[in-house]
Amino acid sequence: MALPEIGEAGQKRLRAAKVAIAGVGGLGCTAAQCLTGAGIGEITLIDDGEVELSNLNRQFLYRFEDVGKPKAEIAKQRLSESNPFVRIETICTRINRENAGEIFSKCDIILDCLDNFETRFILNETAVHFGKPLIHGACRGFEGRVMTIIPDRTSCLKCAIGETPSESEIPILGSTAVFVASLQASEGIRYITGLQPASSGIMLFADLSRMSFEMINIPKDLECRICGSLK
């Protein structure tokens, strides 16, 4: 509340907000921690996975003894310990076209902390359909990107990426995931408190191996089948 850009009014907006975090891995863990600390009123964690040993270099809500346990449930437990006044719901199921509407229609904002583009595009379609802001984040190695999608105002993820890219195992440096997720949480806080997200319709690319940053405007594709005027 000491920040003049937020103040008491902004803190009340955070307290009233409902945020959905899709994926509680390297990005989702840090984003959830930041938003819990900021005093978000309600957070829904969606992840069908279990903690694996290889997760521990970047998914800092989990410990060695959590291996094999549901990510969303362990994350809820740890987040509640740090701020018991935040209501945290968990959905331990995989997002698909059949359940996405029910999961995300009641939230105020969605954070895309996923690790595969098939589900990311389902999330993108759902966000555009229900008019929900979507903060996309992704990382690989030392590289990361962030983009905020505001339906009817900016381009969408389909405009930015086009067809589903080929995917393989993704090596991730823990500090890269923390960096990207922190930006996602910051953009979410900016939107909720009435500030313009810096990445609205803009893809921020970061290469932490060279400390280089680039912001590329993503124009709205009028023929985009998801958000274009011809859909």
CB 85 within 8 A of CB 1: no
Q: Which of these ranges, 164-168, 197-201, 208-212, has the smallest mean pLDDT? A: 164-168
Average confidence (pLDDT) over 64-79: 98
Average confidence (pLDDT) over 99-111: 96
How far is 135 from 189, CA to CA, in rounded Å? 11
Q: Which of these ranges, 102-106, 202-206, 224-228, has the smallest mean pLDDT? A: 224-228
How far is 107 from 86, CA to CA, in rounded Å? 15
pLDDT of 163 > 80? The answer is: no
pLDDT of 167 > 80? The answer is: no
Position 162 confidence tier, pLDDT thresholds 50, 70, 90: confident
Average confidence (pLDDT) over 49-74: 96
Mean pLDDT of the chain: 94
What pLDDT is attached to residue 168? 63
Shortest CA distance to 46 belongs to which of 68, 28, 66, 65?
28
Q: Which of these ranges, 46-55, 116-125, 158-167, 207-216, has the smallest mean pLDDT? A: 158-167
User: Residues 59, 64, 70, 72: what is their CA dihedral angle, to the nearest 10 degrees?
Assistant: -30
> What would the two tokens of residue 41 be?
């009123």
CB 60 within 8 A of CB 29: yes
Q: 19 burial class (0-12, 13-18, 19+ CB within 10 angstroms)?
A: buried
Position 231 confidence tier, pLDDT thresholds 50, 70, 90: very low
The secondary element (H helix, E strand) that includes residue 79 is: helix 71-82
Average confidence (pLDDT) over 10-15: 96
Average confidence (pLDDT) over 224-230: 80
Q: How many helices (H) and strands (E) does the chain have?
A: 7, 8
- Residue 226's SS3 state is coil
Q: Indicate the DSSP class of residue 172.
A: B
pLDDT of 166 > 80? The answer is: no
Position 230 confidence tier, pLDDT thresholds 50, 70, 90: very low
Share of the chain above pLDDT 70, in %: 96
How far is 26 from 60, CA to CA, in rounded Å? 8
> What would the two tokens of residue 36 be?
């819990």
pLDDT of 19 > 50? The answer is: yes
pLDDT of 165 > 70? The answer is: no
